[in-house]
Chain A
Amino acid sequence: MKYSDEFRDKSIAQGLARAIDAEVSSQRTYRFMEFCGGHTHAISRYGLEDLLPANVRMIHGPGCPVCVLPASRIDMAIRLVERPEVTLCVYGDLMRAPGSQGQSLLRAKALGADIRMVYSTLDAIRLAEQIPGREVVFFAIGFETTTPPTAVMIRIAESKRLDRLSVFCNHVLTPSAMHSILENPKIRNAGGVPIDGFIGPAHVSTIIGTQPYEPLAEQFEKPIVVAGFEPLDVLQAILMLVRQVNQHRYEVENQYRRAVTREGNLRAKGEVSQVFELRDQFEWRGLGLVPNSGLKLKRSYAKFDAETRFAIHDMPVADNPACECCAILRGAKRPADCKLIGKICTPETPIGACMVSSEGACAAYWTYGRVRGEQVRQRS
């Protein structure tokens, strides 16, 4: 497979593993958080942890937009589709995310709600054109990667005068979440495990570049290496982090140079800033309220805002108190430490943030790594 086999070469992987092994100090532990679910998925799917020295530990971060979407936002979407005139367009992996009562869009669809799985914002535009009598609402979700297409959709809707197309906006921002993980008292209180560095998001950085992470690296003295999602990318990023830690450097480095620049995609950023503005705060499943971490439509595009148009309001609901997601996202606990995992919290019936999408920490552990649970427990 051109452009992917090159990044899955076994001998290069083993060479990187040897290099990591040679450079780590036996006197200390290295704890690196991979922020993105894509990295979590790659680490689990390719069994990369087996290639790392015992004192290099990967902590799975909150970087999956479906995982961190709070139950109250699913509740809002369900209230939306209970309106007979609404057709809701949704990305597929959002369908299973649980609301506050365990309900989901998948279940709402089975009960008769008009919910359409789409692959892009263009599908929503097409639907709005094809079924002109209906209110077509696009469930916008994702980090900086999926925000530009939503902005473009709104501008197209405006130019085509698609007055019955609107957006239920749930776009969130990566640097704010990283900041929150490092200083949010709620998360800090969940455990004192330090993070020695971050593998920074890949797709997100193709849009925003590496620059937004520089203040974080400097302020919190944490090295950040933006890396691609292929297994060799991840191993190389770990090696780069080990070197920074050993050399007491706290820089933002770019492993993913084939796709990412410091400045990012200026055109995409321009589209986003034209349509969206910051929310004062936005709730994250597992992290609570995070300041300046979400986007909403600017006043000039208010007519496309489904929350305004249908007067639906956020009514926050508490996470299950037995759920350990908050501590897991901070690295203080492992998925295996949660009393709910595999009992009432499974991929079929997710309770907490980390189990909701296949890219979440608990889902990755449960799907790929649970055989390793006992060994990991013994190793620590």
Chain B
Amino acid sequence: MSMKAYPRKLDVKSGRVELSHGSGGRAMAQLISDLFHQAFGNEWLARCNDQAAFDVSAGRMVMTTDGYVVTPLFFPGGNIGSLAVHGTINDVAMSGARPLYLSTSFIIEEGFRFSDLKTIADSMGAAARGGGVHIIAGDTKVVERGKADGLFISVAGIGFVADGLDLSADKVRVGDRVLVSGSLGDHGVAIMSKRQNVAFQTEIVSDSAALHDLVAVMLAAGPGGIRVMRDPTRGGLAAALNEIAHQSDVGFHLQESTIPVKPAVAAACELLGLEPIHVANEGKLVAIVAPESADAVLAAMKAHPLASDAADIGEAVADDHKFVQMTTGFGGRRVVDWLWGEQLPRIC
């Protein structure tokens, strides 16, 4: 008669992570087997090696890595797990690549609920399957209570980019159009509304989503016309455009009235003293597109379910200072700067 590898079932419903679950012993093996493998299950993980071997196709590979330390871990529209998968897929996809494989690393605080960990792992698995990628390697560490904010997740992603496709932030030219895929600030406001216990009458939901399919549609609609794409996460649209301006030695001129922002997000930003162009997004992209391709790319974006509110919000201009400027709703002009430091509430 064969012995059971793990005599006692993992108590996912009411159990908690203990230091032993990161110690390399049987408890850790059971956590990986019964929780993570269940959530992510695929042929590579099933081989239980310390690494995963995978086939590569011809062409160039794209690789990225990112750490996720969001508070709170659960928010309207997702949680740290789905966010980690979407965010990594999007970082790969912004190069025009097809994301294929992810690896993930968990740093878990002692005492973390198994039930929460399972919810998070399950949503990672679902997000990965939804994006057509596989989580093929992972790592688990447990740290003492008080040494992590519940749970940190790191994810690395690999994808393949088609021959001849080379999107890069140094390729922007004067006259190029600036396209955004939809309303700005949804994710950041959803997070902040929970973090600061601000009760809004309308619940604002994170836009967290994998954008690789939208990217593929855009590339097909404007072959050769897309200079660069970026997902405006921390720092929002303002940071993304300032970065690109400096990499390409151009300025940008935006029209505030064309920038899509949901009324509820605009109202929340007003209350919190923020501007939507500085607030993080997790399911939006900004694309700088050659003028002759812009209409076709924008039309393709609008036809995609993740970009029905896509808009042309401005253009690249010649500017030695590399300023991002905006004509305000009143017809005045202002600089759109990087946000400086942490967003801190004002006194009055």
Contacts and interface: CB of A to CB of B under 8 A. Distances in A.
A247 B331 CA distance: 30
Interface in A8-57: 8, 10, 13-14, 38, 44-51
Contact of B332 (A49, A65, A347, A357): A49
Contact of A143 (B328, B344, B348): B348
Given A119-B196, A368-B334, A8 B344 contact: no
Interface in A342-380: 346-348, 357-359, 366-372
Interface string B294-336: 0000000000000000000000000001010101111111110
B348 A146 contact: yes
A91 B334 contact: no
Given A44-B334, A231-B330, A92 B348 contact: no
B337 interface: yes
Interface stretch (B20-28, B81-89, B262-270): B262-270
Contact of A91 (B331, B337, B347): B347
A46 B329 contact: yes
B266 A46 contact: no
Q: Most chain-A Cβ atoms within 10 A of its Cβ — which of B275, B337, B347?
A: B347
Contact of A145 (B266, B333, B345, B348): B348
A4 B325 contact: no
B346 A13 contact: no
A142 B348 contact: yes
Contacts of A10: 329-331
Nearest to A203: B348
Interface in A144-170: 145-146
A371 B333 contact: yes
Interface stretch (A93-101, A126-134, A236-244): A93-101
A347 to B, nearest CB: 4
Contacts of B347: 65-66, 91, 93-94, 141-142, 146
A117 B347 CA distance: 11
Contacts of A92: 344-346
B54 interface: no
B332 A93 contact: no
A95 B342 CA distance: 10
Q: Most chain-B Cβ atoms within 10 A of its Cβ — which of A8, A48, A367?
A: A367
Interface residues of B, number: 27
A111 interface: no
Contacts of B325: 371
A295 B270 CA distance: 31
Nearest to A348: B340
Nearest to B327: A47
Given A91-B345, A91-B347, A142-B348, A371 B263 contact: no
Contacts of B328: 45-47
B267 A51 contact: no
B164 interface: no
A273 to B, nearest CB: 20
Interface string B186-210: 0000000000100000000000000
A38 B348 contact: yes
Interface in B149-198: 196
B330 A48 contact: yes
Nearest to B270: A4
A68 B332 CA distance: 29
Kindly state the interface size class of chain A when it binds its partner: 35 or more
Given A4-B270, A93-B345, A51 B330 contact: yes
B7 interface: no
B334 A51 contact: no
B88 to A, nearest CB: 29
A366 B335 CA distance: 9
A311 interface: no
Interface in A73-127: 91-96, 106, 117, 119
A1 interface: yes
Contacts of A117: 344-345
Contact of A14 (B275, B331, B333, B344): B331
A371 B336 CA distance: 10
A46 B335 contact: no
B146 interface: no
Contacts of B330: 8, 10, 13-14, 46-48, 51, 231
A370 B323 CA distance: 9
B318 to A, nearest CB: 13
A65 B348 contact: yes
A205 to B, nearest CB: 12
Contacts of B59: none
A347 B334 contact: no
A45 B277 CA distance: 12
Contacts of B333: 47, 50, 371-372
A375 to B, nearest CB: 10
A38 B328 CA distance: 18
Nearest to A367: B337
B323 A371 contact: yes
Contacts of B342: 95
Nearest to A50: B332
A346 B335 CA distance: 15
Nearest to B332: A47
Interface of A: 1, 4, 8, 10, 13-14, 38, 44-51, 65-66, 91-96, 106, 117, 119, 141-143, 145-146, 203, 231, 346-348, 357-359, 366-372
30 contacts: A1-B267, A4-B267, A14-B330, A45-B275, A45-B328, A46-B330, A47-B327, A47-B331, A47-B334, A50-B332, A51-B331, A91-B347, A92-B345, A92-B346, A95-B342, A117-B344, A119-B196, A119-B345, A142-B347, A143-B348, A203-B348, A348-B340, A348-B341, A368-B335, A369-B334, A370-B323, A370-B335, A371-B323, A371-B334, A371-B335
Given A51-B331, A95-B342, 20 more contacts: A45-B275, A46-B329, A47-B328, A47-B333, A48-B332, A65-B347, A91-B345, A91-B346, A117-B344, A119-B196, A119-B345, A145-B348, A231-B330, A346-B340, A347-B340, A347-B341, A348-B340, A348-B341, A367-B337, A368-B335
